[in-house]
Amino acid sequence: MSRLPDRTLLTRCEIFVYFGVYIAYIVVGLYKIYGLRDHIANEAKFQFPDGWRFYPLSQRRRDDSNDELENFGDFIASFWPFYLLHACVQGFIRWKCPRLQCLGFIGVCALALSVNLDWSSMVLLVTLIASYYLVSLLSLKYLVWLLSAGWILCINVMQKNAWWTDRVGYTEYVLVIVTMSWSVLRGCSYSLSKMGAKQEDLRRYSLIQYLGYAMYFPCLTYGPIISYQRFAARREDEVQNWLGFFGGVLRSAIWWLVMQCALHYFYIHYMSRDVRMVEMMDSVFWQHSAGYLMGQFFFLYYVVTYGLGIAFALQDGIPAPNRPRCIGRIHFYSDMWKYFDEGLYEFLFHHIYAELCGKRSSAAAKFSATALTFAFVFVWHGCYTYVLIWSILNFLCLAAEKVFKTFTSMPEYQRWTQRHLGAVGAQRLYAMLGTQLFIPAAFSNVYFIGGQEIGDFLMRGAYLSGVGNYLALCFCSYCFFQSSELLLTKSVGRSKTKTY
């Protein structure tokens, strides 16, 4: 195995500089966005609602421009009794009769949906769930993908159907679209896993098991996606850890509270929708910080939503994926795919990428498999221009990262760096080259978070604002890269994805 540069040989002073620049840039950028709060409130295209009633939040208006966050709040306001019911029902079943666990999953979910959804929404969800069980009986993988393509097309058509949207209302429209999108992945995971299962394991793929998986309420709408292999590996007889469960739910609640309080002072969500607000920052150099903080608030949203689903899954004995890793600790964007949403990564890797190529496949086969994987990511997220740009940029950045890692692992390169630069110099060169991949990969995600206009604006600011600006951006990004590399040495081996 090739040896990568040893990042532990950096001096303490150098490490202090890296972390100092990293922290200072974030703090100053956050302060500059805080300073724009009144300007943004006055210049916004719509008026923000009044802040929370207790002081000092009552003196501020709250940024409510993030539709996903607002929809999640509405969902919890309507469905929180069913989270409580799920916990109580599972607590009793796990205590008295663990074999009925899936029936408990089905009952709570059916009750929650029937009480809150229009009959047309119920028909759509029931039809989708049933269709994957029926196609799994045929044991033909191409039929699973044809069915998935049909449902993804259906979801895209429904998003443009004004009649149905007006009938059920915007809140239910969002709930059903999101739930159907996740259900497509769950249906694929069950069907494809069943087709690859051994004969003696087929008892784990019964109708009741499938319905319990497809109708697992805590992850039904807001994720994360849990593979069927993980669900089937749940430990029904394991003693429930109520302290850990309450801790997980409390963690999500605290981060939600922190984010809501922050939105009274940092209108970062609105900035991601209106490029004029980013232009108000006093230099291009500090506009980059707005892109970084958009990513951090995006991360916090998934800490809350995924964290809640993961807490319930672990309590129910399901070996759920890990919580999203902070984007401040990610400098290679292959790690963003692996550790930000481990469940989605597992699905894409096992059911698409690994089906198309193997470890010994040619570079062309791997390249094509990666391209087809990102094509699925594009159509599943919605066939929008900004999603296409994000998918293409991520694909290109991952391909370039593969070339970079292959090049830096070559014995000739390592011998040259050791001879002319030494161990510390080799690490610095490694970080300098890696930074050139980190910058476009980081900005590419702004397209997904904020859309094409803000993505184009920040990308132009990075590459078309002069040599001085780019050098300053490279220096800060280099410090970010080195800091993340150093943090990686302390956490390596503790966050690897398990497979089931």
Q: Which residues sit opposite 50 in a β-bridge?
A: 61
pLDDT at 208: 95
Rounded (10°) CA dihedral 214, 219, 221, 227: -50
Would you state the structure tokens that stand for residue 435, as one six-digit string?
A: 């930074």
Report the Cα 142 to chain-centroid distance in Å: 27
Within 8 A by CB and 6+ apart from 157, the residues are none
Which residue do the tokens 């749940």 mark? 234
* 351/303 Cα distance (integer angstroms): 25
Kindly report the CA angle at 338 between 336 and 344, in degrees rounded to 5? 105
Q: Is there a contact between 333 and 439 (Cβ–Cβ < 8 Å)?
A: no
DSSP state letters, 152-168: HHHHHHHTT-HHHHHHH
Instruction: Write down the catalytic residue from 39, 269, 331, 381.
Output: 381
Report the SS3 class of residue 492. coil
Amino acid at 137: L
Report the SS3 class of residue 61. strand
Q: Is 396 left (phi over 0), alpha (psi -120 to 50) or beta?
A: alpha
* 273/449 Cα distance (integer angstroms): 9
Question: Mean pLDDT in runs of 10 for the chain (500 residues)?
Answer: 54 90 93 92 88 84 92 94 96 90 95 93 95 93 95 89 86 94 96 87 90 96 93 85 94 95 93 92 90 93 96 94 89 87 93 88 88 93 90 92 91 89 89 93 91 93 92 93 81 46
* 318/265 Cα distance (integer angstroms): 38
Dihedral (CA of 242, 245, 251, 254) sign: negative
Q: Is there a contact between 176 and 124 (Cβ–Cβ < 8 Å)?
A: yes
Closest CA relative to residue 375, chosen from 390, 362, 365: 390
Report the Cα 381 to chain-centroid distance in Å: 12
Residue 86 bears catalytic tag: no
Q: What is the pTM of this model?
A: 0.92
The answer to whether the bond into 56 is cis (omega within 30° of 0) is yes
Amino acid at 313: A
Per-state percent for the chain, helix, strand, coil, to nearest 5:
75, 0, 25
Q: What is the residue extent of each domain of the chain? A: 7-63+244-491, 67-222
pLDDT at 202: 82
Would you state the structure tokens that stand for residue 9, as one six-digit string?
A: 């040989």
